Amino acid sequence: MDFDTAVKLNIYETIARTTQAPTSADVAEALSTSPEEVEAALERLHKKRLLVPEPGNPSRIRMAPPFSGVETSFRVKVQDNVYYANCAWDALGIAAALQADARIEASDGYSSEPMMLEVRNGQPVPQSCVIHFAVPAAHWWDDILYT
């Protein structure tokens, strides 16, 4: 396994286990390397559109899709763990990645009215909702934090 893959896997395994994104120092300790080496890997993974470091702070992870490194309006509960997703797609993606049932607390993008989505036995529970894409696919990564 190459170094960047080891970094990526350590990040995902840590988030899945603890719900929290590790810092570059945490990953460095786990892989017996330096935070600088890990941050260089994060930047390479960012260029491959696999991770997003925190803007202005390369030691922290803002997005390890489908997981968010910060609290968002998409709160995903899996058993007793609470994760945060970057968007509705990623909220379902957490259930897919963890291969687990999930309850997703979200809200209507216009009215902020609370909404609940649920994944049970590998399928979404039917729910009246619409997912609107304001940005075309060719521009999703122009500003992924907005997309």
97's tokens: 């990645």
Q: From the CB of 40, what's the least distance to another protein, in Å?
A: 20
H helix or E strand, kind and range, residue 95: helix 88-98
Q: Scan residues 123-142 and list those touching another protein (CB under 8 A).
A: 123-124, 126-138, 140
99 binds another protein (CB under 8 A): yes
Please tell me whether residue 93 binds another protein under the rule CB under 8 A.
yes
For another protein, which residue of 16, 30, 40, 144 counts as binding (CB under 8 A)? 16
**Min separation Cβ 103 and another protein, Å:** 14
d(CA 80, CA 112): 25
What DSSP element (H or E) covers 13? Answer: helix 3-18
Count of residues near another protein by CB under 8 A: 51
Q: 28 near 11, Cβ under 8 Å?
A: no
CB of 37 to another protein, least distance (A): 20
Minimum distance between the CB of residue 34 and another protein, rounded to whole angstroms? 23
Q: How far is the CB of 15 from another protein (least distance, A)?
A: 9
Q: Among residues 56 and 146, whose Cβ is nearest to another protein? A: 146
Cβ atoms of 68 and 85 closer than 8 Å: yes
Q: Count Cα neighbours of 73 within 13 Å in the Cβ-side half-sphere.
A: 10
Strand 74-78 with 102-107, pairing: antiparallel
Determine contact, residues 59/82, Cβ cutoff 8 Å: no
Q: Which residues bind another protein (CB under 8 A)?
A: 1, 5, 8-9, 12-13, 16, 48-50, 65-66, 87-90, 92-99, 106-111, 113, 115, 117, 119, 123-124, 126-138, 140, 147
